[in-house]
Amino acid sequence: MTARVLLLGTGTGLPDPDRTYTHLAWDGPGGPLLIDVGGDSYRRLLAGGIDPQLLRGIILTHSHCDHINGLPALLFSLRLGGRTEPLPIYGLPETLELANSFLAAAGLEEWATPVVWQPLAAGERLQLGEGLEIATAQTSHSRPCIAVRLSAPAVPAVCYSADTEPCQEVIRLATGARVLIHEATTPEPSPGHSTPRQAGAVAAAAGVQQLVLVHFSPRWTMPIERALAEVVAGGFTGNASVGVDLQVILLVA
């Protein structure tokens, strides 16, 4: 069986001309599933070949603006497109509380697809349709934040770090996964975020085969060539790359 992860955006909280806020979609068993909601998720899903009207849920990793700011627009577009089926939204209770307030402030009234808020705790596992399992872990960030791991029968597991400095919880969550999508925001170690070298060290410790850097800017972090050299300096010798917007990561058994 084949699944894919679509990188809808790969940039930092300060976008580049070709990189919007980091968010992604799972397109496989139990999906499509959106992880975080950047500013123009509806259009980007269409551009990546995913019908937004078929979304089965959203996972919000945390409540920083660049990870939830597209939620009102997405729900507005879904409603204009005819969706009336409620959309489950999963996240930490404090994340969902702020997201709910954000929606209320948007004043969409009846012009939004209804949602079902689904609170979860860090470390919780979700069993969704078609054997899709979502595992979570608390990251080390300035706001409560969860990393997620997605796995399904006969599909290699993929782990997304969300926003975090290097931490054992993410290493444990990623161990045994084939692909790690890890943030690499800063050129030097910084509280709440990771450097490319630190992302490489996490990937090496977890034993993954492939590392894809996101939440990255060639302008604000470092040039891509240097970032890949830093990954190797961190100890990772597998397949490493810097993600680009609308990139597809295939997961083939």
Active-site residue numbers? Answer: 66
**In the 8-state DSSP scheme, what is residue 166?**
S
Per DSSP bridges, beta strands 210-214 and 133-138 are unpaired
Closest CA to 48 of 76, 92, 7: 7
Closest CA to 6 of 40, 44, 42: 44
Start-to-end Cα distance in the chain:
6
Q: Are 56 and 89 in contact (CB under 8 A)?
A: no
Longest dimension (CA), the chain: 53
Instruction: Kindly write down the DSSP assignment for every residue of 218-236, as one continuous string.
Output: TTTT--HHHHHHHHHHTT-
Answer yes or no: are the C-beta atoms of 251 and 155 closer than 8 Å: yes
For tokens 């997201």, the residue is: 99
Task: Look at residue 44 and give its three-state secondary structure.
Answer: helix
User: What's phi and psi for 221, nearest 5 deg?
Assistant: -90, -70
